[in-house]
Amino acid sequence: MKNILIINGPNLNLLGVREVELYGTKTLKEIEEECCEIFKNDKLNLDFFQSNSESEIIDKIQICKSYDGMIINAGAFTHTSIAIHDALKMVKIPKIEVHISNIYNREEFRKNSFISPVVNGIIAGFGTQVYQVAISSLKYL
């Protein structure tokens, strides 16, 4: 069984109610349930974690030794957190950065990711399906 950690950063707990024109109407819980249902026969353990706290996200990254892969949607911390960058850099498991929206066709400041240089790949702009694509990618690593 592959253990996959899926980290979600600030404000992603409000998916489904905030900026639905950008992020859609699915809640984070619905995304989790959908992913678990889709991959239930793939012998994957999907562990979803969300926090609005940078320090809690860093703590979770630092204790991820029991995982075979990680997916991270760091939210706004993508564009601001060198500390999350450093934590991810230390982790030696495959890592994928995801974004529900296409960060490269939004505000200029969103085009800079401190996460991208320390992950294996990036999936952005395909709505909430980015999680499914990332899980599919990790299950083969």
Given this model, what pLDDT does residue 1 score? 64
Separation of first and last alpha carbons in the chain: 12
Given this model, what pLDDT does residue 129 score? 97
**Looking at 67, 85, 99, 131, which residue is catalytic?**
99
Q: Residue 100 gets which letter from DSSP?
A: S
Is 23 an active-site residue?
Answer: yes
Q: Which residue numbers in the chain have pLDDT < 50?
A: none
Given this model, what pLDDT does residue 59 score? 98
Question: What pLDDT, in 10s, does the model give residues 107-118?
Answer: 888 889 999 999
* Domains defined for the chain, CATH in brackets: 2-138 (3.40.50.9100)
The SS3 assignment for 49 reads strand
Given this model, what pLDDT does residue 61 score? 98
**Cα distance between residue 128 and residue 28, in whole Å:** 9
